[in-house]
A and B are shown apart, each in its own frame.
Chain A
């Protein structure tokens, strides 16, 4: 199967190891991988702030970059959600772009969703002896349809003790520019989230979105907790010794 990677600007510039794990796993599963270098960002920062014209301009880079792709896979539920949920609306006024956008939306998947729903893989043969908890990101859950896929993958990792995060459905307070613009409210939200993560006594916190994980990790560090934070792809790759 041919898979094009959409690495997202955040993972590209701050967490390249996440992209690398995605590549190694997909490669192990026999996918033929390409990385269209013409990609930059899905446009979310501008979109969430209401700068729609700027969003469209940036979104066009993605549209061009993935024109020929068969599948687009991204390690971010929120960027996948942007493409699947917001793009159709953003380009609704333009019939040509609009049909290109719908095609892109239909072939774009969040990483765990792609593994479970498209490839039909649930057991990667990974083994990791650790206590793990998982934060389901809002956009992954509510805009992209990432529901039980990450937990299915985790529960198949040998030796892994899965502990459910209390109140897991509640937002961590990231929200892109929200975390800077409404810093106090966001801080209160992430503080609650960190308390819950700590309660699970997990060694590792995982998720499918580096935005949220970066937010929670930033607070965990500020409070001095030693809990490791890693993207689901990193965790699985580690368990697969890739």
Chain B
């Protein structure tokens, strides 16, 4: 089903039929969250770290202008170039301009969610420039012509056998064994070639550090280092909020991000890159470019209700604990960012696109996401606020509006409330069997499709209260 135009409900329905997907997503998220709990326990004082993380992010976001200009100044001083791109389109244009100038034929990439947001690979291909994802997970979904379905584990929805089939197909082979060793060896061999020939390395940026003008990358496969050192040009792309004031702040994030995301104490590689190769240095690119992408973020920044989503450090912890994500995987969310953070940020970044405004309903508001978030973003509250915004903007159905008007009318007056529940308990009678409704009811079929519905009690608590009081009185005496 095409993601365009369909609703989250329809996409979820499709995903729920896919047993492979659900099995793979559940077992991987299970592993990630068990690891997370163990490693936060080992760190000790997790709540203290979390609070520090929250404070740092809140401080940056509140003073974003200041830190962005400090960052820009220091990037330039280190001999790099910095661009502020208001739209995704501008950012893409910028990359293509650089690519054309250096006559690049091929670009090697290391994971960047923002570049997914910009559809960069597609744009490059249209210019005849090959773009290759070098992250194993990203490589897999690129071959499968899919988008990422998890922030840090993009191919979480595929199991080894599916990957083996995909690799075999790519190579025109009948069969490739599906053990991890063979699969990684396959990818490594393919990707080595690409590293050697890529003229430009494109990366994301976990954090930019304002005081030093550096970008920092957390990776596990070593490909990030190749991408930032082998090609002669390095382009880093970051959402404009992904900034930290100092290296000390980075230390806090180094404790929080890997632990929250995968349960690692630290990722295998943490690269801090400060400008291009200096004279006398043997390695590193000749040019360094940093693209700071707005693409709707400054509008969120101005909105007090939602500013907090810009605190996000994209660790993916909220996905791993989300019972909805765990059932339907990432693609059902329909855009780049899945899970609870996606359900909040996608409608905001696509504010004028009605198509994504139903995402905030894909949550039971269980608040597991908030509990997991290493920088304490109250995602469950933001989801309610987004629903409220939909109501305010008249995006909800007439039927729903009417129901809540009736609810308000009946429930704001104890007298009318009493009449309403009496009426309801009378109306349900024809459907009731042993106190439950088993039939499918048109309005309630979301419920009755899978479960029996308890009926209203013939006698409410308030009806019983008088007798109850008398019993208690006697008991006393």
| B122 on the A face (CB < 8 A) | no
- The size of the chain B interface, using a CB distance under 8 A, is 69
Within 8 A of A (CB), among B438-466: 438, 443-447, 449-457, 459-465
Contacts of A51 in B (CB 8 A): 388, 391, 404, 408
Within 8 A of B (CB), among A185-233: 185-192, 214-215, 217-219, 221-222
Return the contact of B465 from the options A35, A54, A143 (Cβ within 8 A): A35
1/0 per residue A30-70: CB within 8 Å of B? Answer: 00010101111101011111111110011011000100000
| Chain A proximity of B5: nearest CB distance (Å) | 19
| Chain A proximity of B421: nearest CB distance (Å) | 4
Contacts of B130 in A (CB 8 A): none
Report the bound CA distance from A48 to B391 in whole Å: 11
| A169 on the B face (CB < 8 A) | yes
Within 8 A of A (CB), among B346-364: 361-364
A12-B421, A46-B408, A49-B404 known; A185 vs B468 contact (CB < 8 Å): no
Return the contact of A11 from the options B362, B408, B459, B461 (Cβ within 8 A): B461
Contacts of A185 in B (CB 8 A): 12, 16, 324, 327-328, 362
Q: Decide: A218 and B453 in contact? CB cutoff 8 A.
A: yes
Report the bound CA distance from A9 to B421 in whole Å: 9
Stretch at the interface among A14-22, A103-111, A115-123: A14-22
Q: Which of chain A's residues has its CB closest to B385's CB?
A: A50
Q: Decide: A138 and B451 in contact? CB cutoff 8 A.
A: no
Report the bound CA distance from A109 to B49 in whole Å: 30
Report the bound CA distance from A183 to B366 in whole Å: 16
Contacts of B387 in A (CB 8 A): 48-50
| Chain B proximity of A60: nearest CB distance (Å) | 7
Contacts of A217 in B (CB 8 A): 452, 454
Contacts of B445 in A (CB 8 A): 183
Return the contact of B461 from the options A20, A27, A182 (Cβ within 8 A): A20
| B424 on the A face (CB < 8 A) | yes
Contacts of B161 in A (CB 8 A): none
| A146 on the B face (CB < 8 A) | no
A12-B460, A33-B472 known; A54 vs B365 contact (CB < 8 Å): no
State the main secondary structure of chain A at its contact with B.
helix
| A148 on the B face (CB < 8 A) | no
Stretch at the interface among B89-97, B215-223, B410-418: B410-418
| A150 on the B face (CB < 8 A) | no
Report the bound CA distance from A40 to B416 in whole Å: 10
1/0 per residue A169-187: CB within 8 Å of B? Answer: 1110111101111111111
Stretch at the interface among B142-150, B232-240, B274-282, B367-375: B367-375
| Chain B proximity of A144: nearest CB distance (Å) | 11
Q: Decide: A221 and B436 in contact? CB cutoff 8 A.
A: yes
Contacts of B361 in A (CB 8 A): 178, 181-182
Report the bound CA distance from A58 to B412 in whole Å: 5
1/0 per residue A88-107: CB within 8 Å of B? Answer: 01000000000000000000
Report the bound CA distance from A58 to B420 in whole Å: 15
Q: Decide: B368 and A170 in contact? CB cutoff 8 A.
A: yes
| A142 on the B face (CB < 8 A) | yes
| A7 on the B face (CB < 8 A) | yes
Contacts of A15 in B (CB 8 A): 454, 457
1/0 per residue B12-35: CB within 8 Å of A? Answer: 110010000000000000000000
Report the bound CA distance from A219 to B454 in whole Å: 11
* Interface, chain B (partner A; CB < 8 A): 8-9, 12-13, 16, 323-324, 326-328, 361-368, 370-371, 381, 384-391, 396, 400, 404-405, 407-408, 411-414, 417, 421, 424-425, 436, 438, 443-447, 449-457, 459-465, 468, 472, 475
Extra contacts, 5 of them, besides A54-B405, A180-B447, A218-B451 (Cβ < 8 A), are A12-B462, A20-B461, A41-B411, A174-B364, A218-B454
Cβ contacts A to B, 21 pairs, < 8 Å: A9-B417, A9-B421, A12-B460, A12-B461, A13-B456, A16-B459, A33-B472, A37-B462, A50-B386, A52-B391, A61-B412, A65-B414, A142-B368, A170-B326, A173-B364, A176-B365, A178-B361, A182-B8, A192-B327, A221-B451, A222-B438
